[in-house]
Amino acid sequence: MNNTACPDVNFGFEHRFLPPVFISVFIVGLVANGWGLKSLLQKWRKLKIINVFVLNIGVADILYLLTLPFLMVYYFMGSKWIFGVTFCKITRFCFNLNLYGSIGFLTCISVYRYLAIVHPVRVMRRLTVTHSVAISIMVWLLVSVQSLPNMFFIKTFGNTTESCYDTTHQTYVEDYLKYSFGWTFAGFCVPFLITLGCYGHVTIILHRKDTTDKVLKQRCLRLLLILIILFCVCYIPYHVLRNLNLWVRVLSKQQICYEWFNGVYVAHQISRGLVCLNSGLNPLVYLHGNDDISAQLRELLQRARQMSCCSFLSNSGCVPVTQTADRD
C-alpha cells in the first residue's frame, strides 16, 4: 500500500553479500581466465576464427577482475570510496565493458556457429581470422560507445564519505532510467534475440540432418548449454532487476512507496552478484572452443586424482603411476 513516507531500505545487505562473491569470483576467474588465455596465446599463430572471439572474452574478464580488489575494499569499508572520482568511473566502466563485451562476443560465436552449420559452403569459406579480428574491434567500439554515457553520470557523493554508485545519485535517477532502458535494449535484448534466433535455427537443422558430424553436434549442444546458464543466471536477472530497481527509486523520489520496495533492492543486489559470476563462468567457453585446453584439463584432473589417491593410501603402499609413453 502507498505511504506518505517511504520505509528505510536495508542497505547493509550489499556489504554482507557482495564481498564474498567478489572474492570467490576474483580467485576462480583469475586462475581460469589466466590459464585459458595462456593456452590460447601459446598457439596464437594457429588461432581459429572462434578462438579470436574467445580470446576477447578472456581479455574483457581480466579487465574487470583486476578492479574487484578495489570494490572489495569499498564494500568492506561500508561503501566508502577512497580511490578518487576518476578511478570510480574507470572501475564501473570496466564492469560494463566486461558485461556487454562478453554478451557481444558470445553473440559473435553464436552467429559463427550458425553460419558454420547452415551455410558451410556459401559463407564460411569466405571468412578468415582477419575478418574475426575486424569484427572484434567493432564490438569493442560499439560496447564502448554504449557504455560511455554512463561515465558522465554522477558516481560519487559526499565530502568525507564518498560513494561509488554503479548507476548514479538519486538526483539524476530519472535520466538514468531512460538511459538504462535504451542501453538494455541495444546492449542486451538485441544480442539476446540474435543468439536465440541462431541457436533456434541451428537446433532445427541438427535434428533434420542425420549426417551432421556428431562432434559438431556435441559442441553446439555444449555451447548452447553454456549460453543458457550465462543468460538465465547472469544476464537476464541483472537487466530486469536493474531497471526495476531504478524505477523503484524514481517512485520513492516521488513519495510513492510500497512494502515490496526493499525486496526489489535485495533482489537487485543478488543479481549484481550473479552477473559478476559471468567472469568465472566464461572460461567454460574456452573448453568448448579449444580441444587442447580440454585435453589439458582432463590430464590435470587425472593427475590430481592419482595424487589424492596416493596421498590417502600412502600407508597402504600405493605408488604413483608415472606416464612415460607420451614423453618418447
Query: Residue 78 to residues 14, 15, 82, 191, 236: CA-CA distances in angstroms?
Result: 9, 6, 11, 36, 28
Give 150's pLDDT tier (boundaries 50, 70, 90). Answer: very high
Residue 179, pLDDT above cutoff 90 = yes
What is the model's pTM?
Answer: 0.85
Q: Tell me the pLDDT band of 326, cut-offs 50, 70 and 90.
A: very low
Determine if residue 317 is left, alpha or beta; phi over 0 gives left, psi from -120 to 50 gives alpha, anything else beta.
left
* pLDDT at site 316: 52
| Residue spans of alpha helices (H) in 42-128 | 49-65, 68-76, 85-118
Measured CA to CA, the distance from residue 47 to residue 57 in angstroms comes to 14
Local structure of 281: helix, strand or coil? helix
Report the distance separating Cα 57 and Cα 71, nearest Å.
21
Contact 268, 245 (CB under 8 A): yes
Q: What is the pLDDT of residues 114-145, one digit of tens each?
A: 888 888 777 767 888 889 999 999 999 999 99
- For residues 234 and 228, what is the distance between their CA atoms, to the nearest angstrom? 10
> Rounded distance, CA 271 to CA 265, Å?
10
Instruction: Give residue 140's pLDDT.
Output: 97
Q: What pLDDT sits at residue 234?
A: 95
Best-predicted range by mean pLDDT among 105-109, 128-132, 223-227, 289-293?
Answer: 105-109
Span of 21-30, 99-108, 172-181, 289-298 with lowest mean pLDDT: 289-298
Q: CA-to-CA distance for 164 and 57, rounded, in angstroms?
A: 26
Contact 273, 75 (CB under 8 A): no
Q: How confident is the model at residue 176 (pLDDT cuts 50, 70, 90)?
A: very high
Q: What is the pLDDT of residues 276-312, one digit of tens each?
A: 999 988 888 877 655 454 444 455 445 555 565 555 5
Is the pLDDT score of 6 beyond 70? no
Please tell me which residue, 258 or 20, carries the higher pLDDT value: 20
How confident is the model at residue 206, as a pLDDT? 76
C-alpha grid cell, residue 199? 541457436
For the chain, list the domains and their CATH numbers: 12-298 (1.20.1070.10)
Beta-carbon contacts of residue 233 (< 8 Å; ≥ 6 apart): 274, 277, 281
Q: How far apart are CA 136 and CA 55, in angstroms?
A: 10
> Does residue 99 surpass a pLDDT of 60?
yes
Contact 211, 203 (CB under 8 A): no
